[in-house]
Every structure is written in C-alpha cells, then in structure tokens.
Structure 1
C-alpha cells in the first residue's frame, strides 16, 4: 500500500517560518581542558592556552630532554639539534620522535610537521632570517616557548630551572610530573651540598671552544651557578652573559686552578686539552701546569633537567676526596 504525501497546512508552516526568521544562537564554546585556561609570559611573549599542545616540536637538546623528563614524548611530532648523546633514560622515547633536521630545520620542514607548539633552547632557534621568528610562528597559529636562560634579567640559577620545568609542566597539563621532578632535583642538590660542605672553592676556567680567543661561560648562565654549587668559582663570573669571549691574557691573569672543558661537536676533549697544553702562553696557568681538567657534556651545562646530576659530577671532579 502506498502512503500519500500530504502538504502541511499554512498554520502548520508558521512555527517553521518563525524559526527561520529568528536569529541563530551562537555556538557553544568548547570547554577548556582541566587546569586550563593557563596564561604564561615567556621572554616577553604572553600566551593563553585553552588546552595542552598536541603537536610539539623541540629545537635544541636540552629542551627536548625537558619534555622527555616529563613523559611527553607522545606530544612530540618532531625534534632537532643534538649537541651530544641523549641521556640513556630517554633514548627509547627519543627514538620514537621524528628528527626533522640534524641542526635547525628549514621553515618549510618545520611547518610540514604541522606543529601547534615550538620549543627552542637558544635564541637561534627562532631566527627571523630563516622565517622561524616567534611572531611568524604566531601568525601561522603556532605557539612557542624560548628556554628562560636566554631572556633572564640577570644571573640564572636553579630557581630559574624549577620555573622552566614548572611552566612547561603547566603548559602541557602535567603539573604533578613537574612538581615531582622539582622535588627530586632539590633532594639531589641538597645531597651534593651536604657532601662537599666545608670545602675550599677552587677557581675554574670554562673552555667551551676558541683559538684566537677563549669562548667561555659567563656569570649570567646556569653554568655559573652549577660551578658554584659544585664547590668552584668561575673566574669569568664578571662576564655579564651566559657565554662570551675572553682573551687568553685574561685567562693567564686569573690563574684558574681547574679547566672545565665542555664536550660537544666535532672537536674532541683530547684536542681541546692539547690546544691548551701546547700554548706556551698558558704554561704558567696553575690548571695547565698541573694538568687539572674537568669535563662535562654541553647539555649538562645549560638550563635543562641534567643540571642537578651535573652539579654532582662536577663536584666529584673538583673535589675528588668527597666523591662517593
């Protein structure tokens, strides 16, 4: 049996016509994720997050390791620029993340990963000439963060490290993980401080690189606080920047007792030692005369999650009698 289609009466159409004429209600905004919105100001850029980033790219090893330490590898869609080997504890997680470039990716390679968040360790990560400036990324709908060591208003300390980890934890919705990491870091630093209590600080010259001049650690970076906490005194603490150049005449005049070599890149530790030992101008520097060298990977000495363990490692080299 066929059912006849009946047309609606004029009266029946009135409610429909009224509905069409009435203004439509605005769509309901999506509810923020638990713990959000979260607003943070980083290096002069204020960002409000309604939810954690889901497609993050890290540029520079120490910020990559911050995210891995917080168990955020599943939020990473790309990474770039290793200075040395990733910590063994993070190797498996790191290996699951696509490497976009050996050093910094091009703008095209970065955008091809379709990130919603880019985290840089050094100001060079956001090079305007390469099209990676934070403003340019923001115009593309991509939020960003620069490691706080490179916009600090004065000397950087472990308090800035705690802040870095805390803010990243909040940004990604894992404040509990950040709080646990911070508790463990405080305990590690306290144990080292207790072990070397009462030692006489030794004077330290950081040799990062350089031939005509010495590229060294200044007083404004975390490296200076690291040396102090390990029972040392940075002879270039008066250099008001995280890293900078010093003359070899200054190195001679400041008579460091220990040379701390930063290990990274294609120049080996042995090559750096040989450059210093073979320079006749340095022969009377106590550290050179006595062949007192300490070594840390570069990634240990910047604002990242390696710092507490690095303090302990350096303390053992500066004060071997206290080593466990």
Structure 2
C-alpha cells in the first residue's frame, strides 16, 4: 500500500481542493452551484460516518473490486473519475464500462493521488481503503469536502445475508439518485439464487472448511461475512461459523477435529490453487480429514466471496462443485 507525502508535495489542484474543504465539518458539498437535485438532499449513516448528499456525486472514485462492480452494475461509470485495486479481471459484462474509467493505481492510490482526481465521493470495499495510518482515513476525506462510503460488510448491523447485499446496492443507488436501477439489479441477482434453490431442494448440507491462506494457522471464513451465507445457500455448512468475524485464524488441529467433507479454496494473490492443495494434502494434522483423504476441493475466486454483485453466481458455482449430481 502507498503512504502519503507531506502537504508541500501535493499538486496545486489537490492543495486547492484540500484547502477548500477544510472549513466544513461534514462532507455535504453545499457550496456546489445550482439547486439540489430531485429527491435530494440525502443523508445517510454508514459505518459510523454521517454524510449528506445535496445532489448525486459526479466525480466518484471506487476502490476494491466489489465496490467497483457494484457501481458498474448500476451503470454509474459516467459519474466516475477513477478506480483502483482489482483482485481479478473485471466481469465481462462490465469490461467496456470499466475501460472508460481512469485507473488511478494498481493497488490503493495515495491520498495525494486521490485528491488530484478531484473526487466528490470515494467508495471503498474494505476497511483498508480508508486506512488512517496511510493518510486515507475517512475524517481526512470529510475535512477535504469529500463524501465516503464503506461496503457494509465491514460493519454489519446483523447477520450478513443476501439482504445485506440488497441493502448495499440500494444504498449506492440512492446516493446516485437511481433507485430503479437497484431494483433491476436485485431482481437479477435473486433470479440466480432462486434457480439454485430449486436445484438444491432437500439436499443434505455438506460440511465445509474454507482455506484462504496460512501455514502456521489457517485463515478461514468466519460467521460474520457473506462467505458464510454463500456456503449455506450453496448447500453447505461452514464449520467455522462460530468465528465471530468475517475472517479469522484457526489451528489445523481444530480443522481436523471438525472433519470437513469439502475444502473450499479461495483463489487470489501469488499462491496458485494447486500449491494450496499440495500444502493441505501434505499437512500431517489433516491426514485423516475426509476432505483430504477423498481430495474433495472446491475453488472460488476471492472477489466472489465478498459482499458484492458476484455472490449469487458464486453460490451457483460452489453448489455445482459440492453437489454436482443436482446439476446434471
């Protein structure tokens, strides 16, 4: 990740934007010209930050794959001046729209780079988007007159389910004044889930362990993220749903005790899936685990296991892998 440089190194336009925003206590853009748009102002509370939108953002920046794809699914590319930090290739149906948006950086841009794009809205997928230690804390954006939104998987008010995805899509659509687009997208996503539900009617759930990464301990999906719901909807039961957060570390001995029937590998980064499989197959603590003895693995890209528009397709993909007989 990139840090920030001293204020003296900022571009002239970035300094101007920062200075202009320093007088406000909240990012509401009341100084923008013209009357408020129909249905505005809109005031929303998101992960402890309250923001007021006098009109739909016109210079938005999205960071992290799932945030970017939520915006593109709502047809908001013309309101975007920048994006950054993909884990995978963009979904094919959004590629043309994505190509019309400037990529600010391969990973997280510095605060300086973000300010230079002159955004009026920054949408982040993970808490790391707004890392205080990197100079990108949400208060810094508020001080600069820039509204922010964090994907609500980072701060859910209750169980993270498909209803949480619906809420996220509807909230972003509300910010941009396009609520009807949210309903179209929600209907599309639930159509996929309904088809999977029909295929899996009456199926016996399979015991699943998610292996994200780790050699000393296993980094796995807990019960507070959409990954837990994804497994359930795909006809599985997450053996570490009792981990009280979206992701957490567990011992390989704990994995062995819970005896998963299938290991779901999250695919991302520099470690190939085949290397992860070899590591698990060779781990002495796992030699008697049914999933290891039977070499039952399923694979999902990480970008499909976080709260965004990919989840229903990921449910179908996982269901096909762990219950292939239901899809013949």
Would you call these one fold, judging by a TM-score over 0.5? yes
CA deviation after TM superposition for structure 1 residue 86, in Å: 1.1
Contact 1:217 / 1:244 at 8 angstroms: preserved in 2? yes
Match of 2:202 in 1: 198
Is it true that 1:149 corresponds to 2:163 in the alignment?
no
Between 1:217-226 and 1:185-194, the stretch displaced more is 185-194
How far apart, CA to CA, are the structure 1 residues paired with 2:247 and 2:159? 12
How far apart, CA to CA, are the structure 2 residues paired with 1:114 and 1:140? 10
How far apart, CA to CA, are the structure 2 residues paired with 1:150 and 1:297? 19
Partner residue of 1:305 out of 301, 304, 309: 309
Match of 2:75 in 1: 71
Is it true that 1:277 corresponds to 2:281 in the alignment?
yes
Partner residue of 2:299 out of 270, 295, 300: 295
Give the 3-state SS of the residue equivalent to 1:129 in structure 2. Answer: helix
Partner residue of 2:249 out of 245, 248, 263: 245
CA deviation after TM superposition for structure 1 residue 215, in Å: 0.5
Which 4+ runs in 1 deviate beyond 2 A?
A: none
How far apart, CA to CA, are the structure 2 residues paired with 1:100 and 1:155? 34
Match of 1:38 in 2: 42
Is it true that 1:58 corresponds to 2:62 in the alignment?
yes
CA deviation after TM superposition for structure 1 residue 30, in Å: 3.4
Query: What is the root-mean-square deviation of aligned Cα atoms in Å?
Result: 1.3
How far apart, CA to CA, are the structure 1 residues paired with 2:135 and 2:246? 25
Contact 1:213 / 1:246 at 8 angstroms: preserved in 2? yes
Match of 1:161 in 2: 165
TM superposition score normalised by structure 1: 0.90
Deviation track 1:259-295 (CA, whole Å, cap 9, x = no partner) reads 0011111111111111111112211111111000001
Is it true that 1:101 corresponds to 2:105 in the alignment?
yes
Q: Counterparts in 2 of 1:195-274, with a 5 A limit?
A: 195-274=199-278
How far apart, CA to CA, are the structure 1 residues paired with 2:188 and 2:94? 17
How far apart, CA to CA, are the structure 2 residues paired with 1:183 and 1:255? 37
How far apart, CA to CA, are the structure 2 residues paired with 1:194 and 1:86? 29
Match of 1:120 in 2: 124
Count how many residue pairs are aligned between Structure 1 and Structure 2. 297
Is it true that 1:314 corresponds to 2:312 in the alignment?
no
Partner residue of 2:137 out of 121, 133, 136: 133
5+ long unaligned stretches in structure 2: 1-30
How far apart, CA to CA, are the structure 1 residues paired with 2:188 and 2:112? 39
Give the 3-state SS of the residue equivalent to 2:134 in structure 1. Answer: coil
Contact 1:78 / 1:100 at 8 angstroms: preserved in 2? yes
Match of 2:86 in 1: 82
Deviation track 1:141-163 (CA, whole Å, cap 9, x = no partner) reads 00000000001134311111000
How far apart, CA to CA, are the structure 1 residues paired with 2:77 and 2:95? 11
CA deviation after TM superposition for structure 1 residue 61, in Å: 0.5
CA deviation after TM superposition for structure 1 residue 84, in Å: 1.3
5+ long unaligned stretches in structure 1: 1-26
TM superposition score normalised by structure 2: 0.88
Contact 1:84 / 1:265 at 8 angstroms: preserved in 2? no
CA deviation after TM superposition for structure 1 residue 85, in Å: 1.4
Give the 3-state SS of the residue equivalent to 2:94 in structure 1. Answer: helix
